[in-house]
Chains A and B, each alone.
Chain A
Amino acid sequence: MEQSRLMSEIDLIARLQAPATQERAFAEVVGAYQEQLYWHVRRMVGDHDEADDVLQNSFVKAWRSISGFRGDSKLKTWLYRIATNEALTALEKIKKRSFSDVEDLADDLRHSHSGGMQLSGDEIQARLDAAVETLPPKQKQVFVMKYHDELTYEEMAAVLGGTVGSLKASFHHAAKKIEQQLLSH
Chain B
Amino acid sequence: MQDDQPYDKDWEAEAPFLAKLPKQRPGGIPDGYFERLPNQIMDKIRSGEQAEMPVAEVPAASPVVAFKSSRPSLLKQTRFWALAASLALLLAATWAFWPAAAPETDPDDLAFQQQFSIQLASMDDQVVLAALNESDVSEEDVYALLGADDQSDLGIHGEGAEVLDYLEHEDLEEFDLDQLNIDPSELL
Q: Interface on A for B, CB 8 Å cutoff?
A: 23, 26-27, 30-31, 34-35, 38-39, 42-43, 46, 48, 52, 55-56, 59-60, 63, 121, 124-125, 128-129, 147-153, 168, 171-172, 175-176, 178-179, 182-183
Among candidates B14, B24, B25, residue contacting A175 with C-beta atoms closer than 8 Å = B14
Among candidates B26, B37, B48, residue contacting A30 with C-beta atoms closer than 8 Å = B37
A153→B34 contact, CB < 8 A? no
Given contacts A46-B26, A121-B22, contact A30 B42 (CB under 8 A): yes
User: Could you say which residues of chain B place their CB within 8 Å of the CB of A149?
Assistant: 1
List 10 tightest A-B contacts by C-beta distance, closest first: A179-B15, A175-B15, A152-B3, A30-B38, A175-B11, A59-B41, A179-B18, A63-B45, A150-B1, A125-B24
User: Could you say which residues of chain B place their CB within 8 Å of the CB of A128?
Assistant: 18, 21
User: Could you say which residues of chain A place their CB within 8 Å of the CB of B37?
Assistant: 30, 34, 38, 52, 55-56
User: Could you say which residues of chain A place their CB within 8 Å of the CB of B2?
Assistant: 150
Among candidates A31, A55, A176, residue contacting B15 with C-beta atoms closer than 8 Å = A176
* Alpha-carbon distance between A43 and B27 when the two chains are bound, in angstroms: 9
B1→A42 contact, CB < 8 A? no
B41→A56 contact, CB < 8 A? yes
With A39-B26, A179-B15 given, name 18 new contacts (CB 8 A): A23-B42, A34-B37, A34-B38, A38-B34, A43-B26, A48-B27, A56-B41, A60-B44, A128-B18, A129-B26, A151-B1, A153-B8, A171-B11, A176-B14, A176-B15, A178-B15, A182-B21, A183-B17
B14→A172 contact, CB < 8 A? yes
Q: How large is the interface on B (under 10, 10 to 19, 20 to 34, 35 or more residues)?
A: 20 to 34
* Alpha-carbon distance between A59 and B25 when the two chains are bound, in angstroms: 22
Q: Which residue of A lies closest to B41 (CB)?
A: A59
Q: How far is the CB of B42 from chain A (nearest CB, A)?
A: 6
Q: Which residue of B lies closest to A35 (CB)?
A: B34
User: Could you say which residues of chain A place their CB within 8 Å of the CB of B10?
Assistant: 168, 172
B11→A60 contact, CB < 8 A? no
* Alpha-carbon distance between A26 and B21 when the two chains are bound, in angstroms: 36
User: Could you say which residues of chain B place their CB within 8 Å of the CB of A172?
Assistant: 10-11, 14
A148→B18 contact, CB < 8 A? no
* Alpha-carbon distance between A43 and B2 when the two chains are bound, in angstroms: 19
B38→A31 contact, CB < 8 A? yes
Q: Which residue of A lies closest to B48 (CB)?
A: A60
User: Could you say which residues of chain A place their CB within 8 Å of the CB of B32?
Assistant: none
A168→B7 contact, CB < 8 A? yes
B3→A153 contact, CB < 8 A? yes
* Alpha-carbon distance between A64 and B186 when the two chains are bound, in angstroms: 39
Among candidates A48, A60, A178, residue contacting B18 with C-beta atoms closer than 8 Å = A178
Can you sample 17 A-B contacts with CB below 8 Å?
A: A27-B38, A30-B37, A34-B38, A34-B41, A39-B25, A59-B41, A60-B41, A63-B45, A125-B21, A125-B24, A149-B1, A150-B1, A151-B3, A152-B3, A175-B18, A178-B15, A182-B21
